[in-house]
Copies of this chain bind each other. A is one copy, B any other.
Amino acid sequence: MQMAPIGVFDSGLGGLTAMRWLVRLMPGEDFIYFGDTARLPYGAKTKETILKYARQDIRFLLSYKVKMVVAACGTVSSVGGNGLGAEFGIPYTGVVDPSVKAALQATKNGKIGVIGTLATIKSGSYEAELKKLRADAEVISRPCPLFVPITESGYCSADHPITKAVVAEYIHPLRQTGIDTLILGCTHYALLAEAISRVLPGVELIDSGHATALAVQQQLAKSGLLNDKKTGGMLSFYVSDRPDEFERFGTMAMEGFDVKCTAEVSVDTL
C-alpha cells in the first residue's frame, strides 16, 4: 500500500493549490488528481448535489486503488465533513480541520476570519470546528462567490482591475473587524493570496491547501503508508471538461509543475 497513489479531487483548478504543496512535501508519491470541471462551480450548489458529486469523484479515485483520498475542495470538506471518508472506509481528509488547526496556531488575538463559497459559509463548518477547539474564538465569516469564477478565468494578478474590484468588494469589509488571521477556506482562493494581502496588510493568511498537505503527510507517516522516495513521483490529471484550459491555467496554479491531462472523463461514467 505504501506504493499506491494518493487521490486528490476538487471541482476544478482550486485543488491544484493543495497539489503544489503535496508534490513539494512528498516528491516520491504518485498522485491521481480529478478536477470536475464539467460541473464547476460546486460552491453555489445545494448540499444534496454537492454530496452526490463528491461521492462520484471519490469512487472515480478509488478505481485507481489510491491509498488515501484528499478532498482538496473547501465546499466538499464543509458540506461532507469527515463522514465521506468513513462512508467509503478509507484514509481521508478534507481541508477544514487542517486549516482550523493552522489558524489557531497563528492567531494572537483569537479573532479569525473565514472566507469561502456560499455553500461553505452556509454550512458553518469552519466556525464550528474553530469553536470546538477554542471556545472563545471570535469568528467572522464571509462568502466570496465570484472568487472561483475569476480564478478559473485566469484573473489572479493582484494588479488586474477585475481582481482588484472583486477582492475589494469581499475583503475590504473585513478590515474593520480586527481579525489577525484569515482562513482561505476554498482552495481556489490561494491563487488570490497576494491580492487579498494587499487589502489586509498584517493579517496572516491560512492557505488551506498548504495546511492540508502537511496534514496528509503526517497522517500517512503515522499509519505507515508514506512512500519516502525522494523523487520520481508520477502525476496524473483527469478532468470532466475542457482539458486545454485546465492545462493552461493549471500549470500556473501549480507554480511551474507541468500539468498534462491524462484523459477527459465523461460525468456520465461517474
Interface of A toward B, CB cutoff 8 Å: 38-39, 44-46, 49, 145-146, 149-150, 152-153, 155, 161-162, 164-166, 168-169, 241-242, 267
A122 CB to nearest B CB, Å:
11
Chain B's closest residue to A149 (CB) is B149
Partner of A38, one of B45, B145, B146, B162: B45
Partner of A161, one of B145, B152, B168: B168
A2 CB to nearest B CB, Å:
38
Interface pair B153/A161, CB less than 8 Å apart: no
A217 CB to nearest B CB, Å:
34
A266 CB to nearest B CB, Å:
8
A237 CB to nearest B CB, Å:
17
A12 CB to nearest B CB, Å:
10
Give bound CA distance, A45 to B242, whole Å. Answer: 7
Chain B's closest residue to A264 (CB) is B46
Partner of A169, one of B49, B146, B161: B161
A196 CB to nearest B CB, Å:
16
Interface pair B166/A162, CB less than 8 Å apart: yes
Chain B's closest residue to A168 (CB) is B161
Known A146-B149, A149-B149, A150-B146; contact A241-B49, beta-carbon cutoff 8 A:
yes
Extra contacts besides A38-B49, A44-B241, A45-B241 (7): CB < 8 Å: A49-B241, A146-B150, A146-B155, A146-B162, A161-B169, A162-B169, A165-B166
Chain B's closest residue to A41 (CB) is B149
Interface pair B150/A161, CB less than 8 Å apart: no
Residues of B within 8 A of A155 (CB): 146
Give bound CA distance, A49 to B150, whole Å. Answer: 22
9 residue pairs from A and B, CB less than 8 Å apart: A44-B152, A45-B242, A49-B267, A145-B153, A149-B149, A149-B150, A161-B165, A161-B168, A162-B166
Known A39-B39, A146-B150, A149-B149; contact A242-B168, beta-carbon cutoff 8 A:
no
Chain B's closest residue to A163 (CB) is B165
Give bound CA distance, A165 to B153, whole Å. Answer: 14
Residues of B within 8 A of A241 (CB): 44-46, 49
Residues of B within 8 A of A46 (CB): 38, 241-242
What 3 pairs between A and B have smallest CB-CB spacing?
A149-B149, A165-B165, A161-B165
Chain B's closest residue to A52 (CB) is B268
Residues of B within 8 A of A267 (CB): 49
A75 CB to nearest B CB, Å:
14
Q: Which of A39, A149, A150, A242 has the most CB of B within 10 A?
A: A149
